[in-house]
Amino acid sequence: MSSTVEITKGPQPPAAEELSDAVTIGVDAYISQDYARAERDKLWRKVWLQTGRIEEIPNVGDYITYEILDDSILIVRRAVDEIAAYHNVCAHRGRRLVDTPRGAKHARGHAPVPEGSKGEQFTCGYHGWRYDLAGKSTRVIYKEDWKGALKNECIGLSKVNVDTWGGWIWVNLDSKCEPLRQYLEPAATMLDPFQLQNMRYRWRKWGIFDCNWKVAVEAFNETYHVETTHPEFNNWGKFRGWARVQGARHSNIGYEASKNMGGDQEAKLRVGTGDARITTAEMQRYTWEKAQTNTVQTLVEAAERLKDELPEGTPPGQVLQHWLASARRDDEARGVFWPVVDPAHVSKSGTAWQIFPNFQIGHSVNNMLCYAARPYGYDPDKCIFEAAVYQLYPPGQEPQTEWVYSEATAEAWSYVLSQDFSNMAAVQQGMKSQGFSGTKPNPYMEGAIANLHRNLAKYMGTGAPRELK
Ligand code: FES
Ligand SMILES: [Fe+2]
């Protein structure tokens, strides 16, 4: 991290479209086994998927795998400045080349340098076929038995499209896919000023949850549930928020601007109602301890000083400015530099982006909370859920983290996240009821759900939301 930076000026994204249609969504996308089976070819093998962070494979030869249904992808740092991805399968008789340890989220490690070989190699454990980091075959034992029939083209690893954005490594199994940047727009341009690539994991957890992957992502892509699912937050304000269509696939959500909440600031870093000096500190302490997301220690401590640093009656907008400026100063003193983002842009970018189909980025200038969910086999009632909190750290002081398997409990995650989890299996089961006539998302606050299904229908050929009559 060098110094404070100015807003990135990139191409301007197209204007966002407000969602307003009252629609209903059928339950097949959530509960049908046929739909879940069809997703492999129609969806998962066609889209860009977020698979991990660039910093997880810092050295040449480092690798991670990513599993999506029947496909396992081997992602490897092939050169100092190049990442490659291959289907994780041996060309000989199809053995998985790199095994995922039992109970682990994925495989990770460093390809060994076998005796007598120049560089790192992947060796199949079955008959010893071997591959270099470029995916080329470097050894076939008794190759002469094939009498020249084994051509190089058919004995190398099969390539997968790979690219990076935001500090993440993305893959796409479709050989004819569009470039990643184009796929991500306008999210990439809107989020670039937040410099997400500079953030590092604070914690990361995953689990196998008893709901469809869409139920899991939809637990976090709207603000409508906050008032009821997280009632404690009602002490500190109204958490009413909008949803907008963003480009061909994505959407974002954000809180409404509120005079009480500090002028036109719509972002995640917001002050409480009433005496904002006091309520902001309360809300920050609660968020830090009970959610373990959406804030950093510097912000919590700066909030707790507000009552001593500002006179009673300070308008909320000033409390917000003072709080953010003093936390920014504290962080700069320890070598952590938040990007400078124009407040109007912060408001427009909202609190979270839903990257089609299954990734959510809850961004801010100094921390973020991201969720992803994907199928767990072809059982529509299960998914692999993961969440990670990232923040800025002084150079060299990033914590060493791993993916920790966690049951969906308050003890394993946090109280606030367990409130969200408590709805998931209940929704999955409830939707199967004979008495349920379909999902009816709030047209203003839950528009990201309708948008997800509108876009899913383009890939799946079924399940488009219908007008609610
Ligand atoms: S399956 Fe890999 S060497 Fe035989
Ligand atoms: Fe929630």
Ligand nearest to the CA of 423: 2
Evaluate: CB of 141 within 6 angstroms of ligand 1.
Answer: no
Determine the distance separating the centroid of ligand 1 and the alpha carbon of 71, expressed in angstroms.
17
Q: Which residues of 157-177 are buried (b: 16+ CB within 10 A; e: fewer)?
A: beebbbbebbbbbbbbbeeeb
Q: Cα–Cα–Cα angle for 463, 352, 7, nearest 5°?
A: 130
Determine the distance separating the centroid of ligand 1 and the alpha carbon of 143, expressed in angstroms.
13
Residue 118's pLDDT is 86
The CA R_g of the chain, rounded to the nearest whole Å, is 24
Atom of ligand 1 nearest to the CA of 93: 1
Evaluate: CB of 436 within 6 angstroms of ligand 1.
Answer: no
CA dihedral 448, 356, 368, 209 (to 10 degrees): 90
Determine the distance separating the centroid of ligand 1 and the alpha carbon of 126, expressed in angstroms.
5
Is 120 within 8 Å of 130 (Cβ atoms)? Answer: no
How far is Cα 325 from Cα 292, in angstroms, rounded to an integer? 22
Evaluate: CB of 125 within 6 angstroms of ligand 1.
Answer: no
First to last CA, the chain: 54
Evaluate: CB of 126 within 6 angstroms of ligand 1.
Answer: yes
Atom of ligand 1 nearest to the CA of 128: 3
Residue 85's pLDDT is 98
How far is Cα 195 from Cα 354, in angstroms, rounded to an integer? 17
* Omega within 30 of 0 (cis) for the link into 357: yes
Evaluate: CB of 157 within 6 angstroms of ligand 1.
Answer: no
Residue 19's pLDDT is 54
Evaluate: CB of 124 within 6 angstroms of ligand 1.
Answer: yes
Residue recorded with tokens 């219908």: 466
How far is Cα 217 from Cα 407, in angstroms, rounded to an integer? 17
Ligand nearest to the CA of 227: 2
Residue 368's pLDDT is 97
Which of 87, 92, 138, 145 maximizes ligand 1 atoms within 8 Å of its Cβ, making it the mutation to test the pocket?
92
Residue 258's pLDDT is 65
Residue with CA at minimum distance from ligand 1 atom 1: 93
Is 441 within 8 Å of 20 (Cβ atoms)? Answer: no
Evaluate: CB of 136 within 6 angstroms of ligand 1.
Answer: no
> Ligand 2 (ion): which residues have CB within 5 A?
420
Residue 130's pLDDT is 98
Would you give per-residue pLDDT tens digits along the chain (469 residues)? 333 333 333 344 444 565 557 999 999 999 999 999 999 999 999 999 999 999 999 999 999 999 999 999 999 999 999 999 999 999 999 999 999 999 999 999 999 999 999 899 999 999 999 999 999 999 999 999 999 999 998 999 999 999 999 999 999 999 999 999 999 999 999 999 999 999 999 999 999 999 999 999 999 999 999 999 999 999 999 889 999 999 999 999 999 876 555 545 557 789 999 999 999 999 999 999 999 999 999 999 999 999 999 999 999 999 999 999 999 999 999 999 999 999 889 999 999 999 999 999 999 999 999 999 999 999 999 999 999 999 999 999 999 999 999 999 999 999 999 999 999 999 999 999 999 999 999 999 999 999 999 999 999 999 999 999 8
Ligand nearest to the CA of 122: 1
Q: Please, which residues have CB within 8 angstroms of residue 149's CB and are 6 or more apart in sequence?
A: none
Residue 20's pLDDT is 54
Determine the distance separating the centroid of ligand 2 and the alpha carbon of 225, expressed in angstroms.
6
Task: Give φ, ψ of 327 to 5 degrees.
Answer: -70, -40
Determine the distance separating the centroid of ligand 1 and the alpha carbon of 95, expressed in angstroms.
6
At position 14, the amino acid (one-letter code) is P
Residue 410's pLDDT is 96
